[in-house]
């Protein structure tokens, strides 16, 4: 069973974190978008092998991760479609769920998706808003993450130490090695690239040197109800780097879901 933390009541939204992280990061990055918003039950999940969710020994590929989320949704919200918010690796899981079980998906919010195809184009890293004086005060394990930020600030530095470092220390490296060998969905005959008509939001950072943004652009034909935003002065941590804009776009997506 997957560990989860719930906030609010109403229609369910499953929130999925990125690689080597856990629900703590998404609680910090996503929950502010729901300030003053009612009617949504946010379920922040630890994916298998992350946080407090153990990795089953027979889980060997990304489809197995997707199936774990499907099983969680059907057990906790039987007969009810769920919306999904996924960031980075979590967006890949959400996309796979929409391909495998579109009947379960009420809507999708994909944050910093892509970077998985062989031809992915990633811009060179650049920090546009530096705070280099903070770097020397950070634990050694946080410095590389801080260096990858497009927008550096004391607040984001604290968030890295509070959420990303403890999560990275807990993740299961053996599971990660197995998943990396079977990461793509394209070879699975059960998973197709059929269009997904659910209200969708795709958010990418213009300066995202990890995932880029060309893969996100290539998704648009498969999501005819998608809004796509390419945020300048933002990288792979766009929800932290451009929090007000990201929150406004998420609330617009919620309005479309409600309608």
The pLDDT assigned to 46 comes to 98
- When pLDDT is averaged across residues 182-202 and rounded to a whole number, the result is 79
The pLDDT assigned to 219 comes to 92
Residue 67 is encoded by which pair of tokens? 């199936």
Residue 188: pLDDT over 70? no
Q: Quick count: other Cβ atoms within 10 Å of Cβ 92?
A: 26
For the stretch 15-53, pLDDT in tens is 999 999 999 999 999 999 999 999 999 999 999 999 999
Give DSSP secondary structure letters for 82-151. EEEEEETHHHHHHHHHHHH-GGGEEEEEEES----STT---PPP--SB--GGGGGGS-HHHHHHHHT-SB
CA–CA separation, 42 vs 165, rounded Å? Answer: 23
Residue 236 is encoded by which pair of tokens? 């792979």
pLDDT band at 192 (very low <50, low <70, confident <90, very high): low
Strands 4-7 and 11-16: unpaired
For the stretch 206-250, pLDDT in tens is 999 999 999 999 999 999 999 999 999 999 999 999 999 999 999
Going by C-alpha positions, the residue among 79, 13, 16 that lies closest to residue 41 is 13
Q: What long-range pairs does 156-161 form, CB within 8 A, spacing at least 24?
A: 156/237, 156/240, 156/241, 157/131, 159/28, 159/240
| CA distances for 249 relative to 30, 38, 114, 201, 203, angstroms | 12, 16, 19, 8, 9
Q: Which pTM does this prediction carry?
A: 0.96
CA–CA separation, 32 vs 46, rounded Å? Answer: 19
| Cross-strand bridge partners of residue 111 | 87, 203
| Alpha carbon 232 to chain centroid, angstroms | 19
């Amino acid at each position: 069973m997957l560990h989860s933390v719930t906030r609010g009541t109403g229609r369910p939204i499953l929130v999925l974190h990125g690689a080597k992280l856990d629900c703590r990061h998404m609680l910090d990055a996503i929950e502010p978008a729901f300030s003053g918003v009612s009617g949504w039950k946010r379920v922040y999940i630890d994916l298998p092998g992350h946080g407090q969710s153990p990795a089953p020994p027979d889980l060997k590929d990304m489809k197995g991760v997707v199936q774990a989320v499907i099983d969680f949704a059907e057990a906790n919200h039987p007969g009810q479609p769920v919306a999904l918010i996924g960031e980075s690796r979590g967006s890949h899981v959400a996309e796979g769920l929409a391909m495998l079980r579109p009947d379960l998906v009420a809507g999708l919010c994909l944050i910093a998706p892509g970077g998985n195809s062989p031809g992915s184009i990633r811009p060179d890293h650049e920090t546009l808003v530096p705070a280099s004086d903070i770097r020397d005060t950070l634990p050694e394990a946080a410095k590389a993450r801080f260096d990858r930020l497009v927008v550096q600030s004391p607040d984001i530095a604290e968030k890295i130490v509070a959420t990303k470092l403890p999560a990275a220390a807990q993740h299961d490296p053996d599971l990660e090695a197995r998943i990396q060998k079977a990461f793509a969905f394209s070879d699975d005959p059960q998973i197709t690239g059929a269009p997904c008509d659910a209200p969708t939001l795709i958010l990418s950072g213009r300066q995202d040197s990890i995932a880029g943004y060309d893969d996100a652009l290539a998704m648009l034909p498969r999501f005819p109800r998608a809004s796509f935003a390419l945020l300048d002065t933002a990288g792979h941590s766009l929800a932290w780097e451009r929090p007000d804009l990201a929150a406004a776009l998420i609330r617009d997506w919620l309005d479309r879901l409600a309608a």
